[in-house]
């Protein structure tokens, strides 16, 4: 097989098909083809918006100003995004017993909308709002954003998007789930994560130390590529996952260097 991407896809399919426990670890790059730009980098949101609006201290002191930016990005803009092939293939893998867990750094809810269920969100979910007074949670579609900041219908407390702001701690449940997955995974599939964000970037190296095969899909090499990645598939997440699915769900699995059908 002369094409290195085709070979990498075939090799990845081989390991995925024989894995007893597979984790997908997803970052902003998996959602780019859904129209959601990453936060960092040349086209990142922080080149267009001041990140201070997502600092918890600023939010608490100037909630109306923060909410103006939050509404523009996360509800007017992100709200139109739909799952792409990468999200859909992961959901299909889960249905076929080929994917046991998703650990995501994203807050866009696209894994859920694609049909995945076993998801742990490192940074929360922008489609949920939480009351900072009574801690009741609401789906964003149930709350009017005509008047900002929105208030809790139950107690009139300030509502905050239920994702992690700068200055807040990572929730313990996804953190524990990520460490557990790293210790149990035969295959750890990195999609669209560059390895720049702490503490999430500690998880793939831990999986590698525990013996997992690391498969990475990214358009460019990341901080993981030369350090822990075993199979690197260079390309856009949706395009590469669609090609991977064509091999992964084909029978027999042919033309891989391991000679296994």
So which residues are the catalytic ones?
123
- CA-to-CA distance for 122 and 107, rounded, in angstroms? 8
| Closest to 94 measured CA to CA, from 119, 73, 62 | 119
- CA-to-CA distance for 112 and 11, rounded, in angstroms? 28
Check: CB of residue 178 under 8 Å from CB of residue 122: yes
In DSSP notation, the chain reads ---HHHHHHHHHHHHHHH-SSEEEEE-GGGGGGGT---SSSTT-GGGTS-GGGGBHHHHHHSHHHHHHHHIIIIIIIGGG----HHHHHHHHHHHTTS--EEEE---S-HHHHHT--SEEETTEEEEEEEETTT--EEEGGGS--SSSS-B-TTT-PBEEEEEPPBT-PPPHHHHHHHHHHHHH-SEEEEES--S-STTGGGHHHHHHHTTPEEEEEESS--TTTTTT-SEEEES-HHHHHHHHHHHHT-SS--S-TT---
């Amino acid at each position: 097989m002369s094409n290195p991407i085709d070979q990498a896809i075939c090799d990845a399919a081989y390991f995925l098909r024989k894995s007893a426990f597979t984790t997908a670890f997803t970052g902003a790059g998996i959602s780019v083809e859904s129209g959601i730009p990453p936060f960092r980098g040349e086209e990142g949101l922080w080149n267009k918006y001041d990140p201070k609006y997502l600092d918890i201290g600023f939010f608490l002191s100037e909630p109306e100003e923060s909410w103006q930016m939050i509404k523009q990005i996360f509800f007017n803009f992100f709200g139109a995004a739909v799952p792409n092939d990468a999200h859909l293939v992961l959901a299909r893998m889960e249905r076929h017993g080929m994917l046991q867990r998703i650990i995501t750094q994203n807050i866009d809810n696209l894994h859920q909308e694609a049909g995945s269920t076993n998801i742990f969100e490192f940074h929360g979910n922008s489609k949920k709002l939480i009351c900072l007074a009574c801690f009741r949670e609401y789906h964003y579609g149930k709350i009017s954003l005509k008047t900002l900041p929105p208030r809790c219908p139950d107690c009139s407390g300030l509502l905050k998007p239920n994702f992690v702001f700068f200055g807040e701690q990572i929730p313990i449940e996804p953190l524990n789930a990520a460490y557990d997955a790293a210790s149990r995974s035969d295959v750890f599939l990195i999609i669209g994560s560059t390895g720049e964000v702490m503490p999430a970037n500690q998880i793939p190296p831990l999986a590698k130390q525990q013996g997992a095969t690391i498969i990475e899909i990214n358009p460019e090499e990341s901080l993981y590529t030369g350090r822990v990645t075993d199979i690197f598939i260079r390309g856009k997440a949706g395009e590469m996952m669609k090609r991977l699915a064509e091999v992964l769900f084909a029978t027999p699995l042919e033309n891989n260097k391991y000679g296994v059908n």
